[in-house]
Amino acid sequence: MILILLVTSCYVGWNIGANDTANCIGTSVGSGLLSYKKAVYLIAVFAILGALLQGQPVMKTIGKGVVTERLPDLAILVAMLSAGVFVTLATTLKLPVSTSQAIVGAIAGVGVATGATVDFSKITTIVACWVICPLLTAVLSFTLYHLSSLPARKLTNIRLWSRILGSLVVLSACYMAFSLGANHVGTAMGSVANIIGSSRWLTVLGGVALASGLLSYGRGVTETVARGITPLDPLSAFAAQTSAAMTVHFFSILGIPVSTSQAIVGAVVGVGLVRGMRAVSKRRLMDIIVGWIATPTVAGLVSFSLSKLLL
């Protein structure tokens, strides 16, 4: 059963990489600075580094923070598959949903179904952070865009500024990938860590699973973030990626599993608002928000129902 759980955790990690590729490179690809192929290889390396260096706090929260006692192995399998399949469907539909939300909802669902002790105060804190995260990144990206535009007004060498800005965009994409690995390796591997204990090799395995998703199935969601919400230029890409990375990194240090999808979408909206509300695709944004609400709800209900049937 442990081997099956490890494979399922890797499947969840693959889903995270596939769906959240856009959160790291969507703005860079959308602004034309990086090709998709070059971007995914670069991001894969930094996602593994983030998982290796700072993946432990969120892993502990997912492992023992939502349900405070050990769940049956089959219950964990049900939770992981419920979340993983839902995110696979969302990725196929090119919707940037939150694997963190899916996992938290699924674990809470099986916890209630099996009569385990569910820490609802912890869940309330996590949900509050989900609400704060996109709002915070929107404000940060709006502010950072204006601050970053100041040097452009003073520099007379346009070519030099373009090169500097291009380098900053690539660096911010790498930072975003690092934050993705730090926050989401725990989402993928936390439940298994609750059984076999946290370890360095488990963290590395989660990072590799994330990277494989980045490399194999992330193009569709990347197109949604890159071009579907608002048009992006290099300065917008830098402001959005940096703001999202800072926010996700902050919550990773606190051990809170937040959504990189919510972070980057909030950041893209923030830079879009620089040009006014008309620059933001409200229809596409509403589709994404509906997906955010549905993700933990559907994953929780499915895992609860399956647990009642199978356990």
Cα Rg of the chain, angstroms? 19
Q: What's the full length of the chain, in residues? A: 311
Query: Quick check: is 276 in a domain?
Result: yes
Q: Are 271 and 140 in contact (CB under 8 A)?
A: no
For 225, the enclosing helix (H) or strand (E) is none
pTM of whole model > 0.85? no
Tell me which of 37-41, 155-159, 210-214, 216-220 is least confident.
Answer: 216-220
User: 305 lies in a domain?
Assistant: no
What DSSP line would sit under 167-208, residue for residue? HHHHHHHHHHHHHHHHHHHHHHHHHHHHHH---HHHHHHHHH
On the question of pLDDT at 228 being above 60, the answer is no
Between these two residues, 120 and 223, which has the higher pLDDT value? 120
Alpha-carbon span 298 to 302, nearest angstrom: 6
Q: Is residue 232 part of a domain?
A: yes
**pLDDT for 293 beyond 70:** yes
* 196 and 202 Cβ atoms separated by less than 8 Å: yes
Q: Is residue 311 in a domain? A: no
pLDDT at 230: 60
Is residue 310 situated within a structural domain? no
Other C-beta atoms within 10 Å of 253: how many?
A: 13
Q: Using 50, 70 and 90 to split pLDDT, how confident is the model at 57?
A: confident
Least reliable range by pLDDT among 1-10, 126-135, 271-280:
271-280
Q: Which of 197, 173, 248, 261 is nearest to 56 (CA)?
A: 197
Report the distance separating Cα 99 and Cα 83, nearest Å: 7
Whether residue 12 lies inside any domain: the answer is yes
Domain-located, residue 306: no
Q: Helix crossing, 120-154 with 234-254: angle to 10°? A: 150
* Domain-located, residue 290: yes
Which residues, at least 6 apart from 163, have a Cβ–Cβ distance to it below 8 Å? Answer: none
Domain of residue 30 covers 2-300
Read off the pLDDT band of 264 (50, 70, 90). confident
Q: Centre a 10 Å sphere on the Cβ of residue 171 and count the other Cβ atoms it contains.
A: 14
Q: Is the pLDDT of residue 143 over 90?
A: yes
Under a CB-based contact definition with an 8 Å cutoff, are residues 189 and 13 in contact? yes
For residue 280, pLDDT over 70 is answered with no
- The one-letter code for the residue type at 74 is L
Q: How many domains are contained in the chain?
A: 1
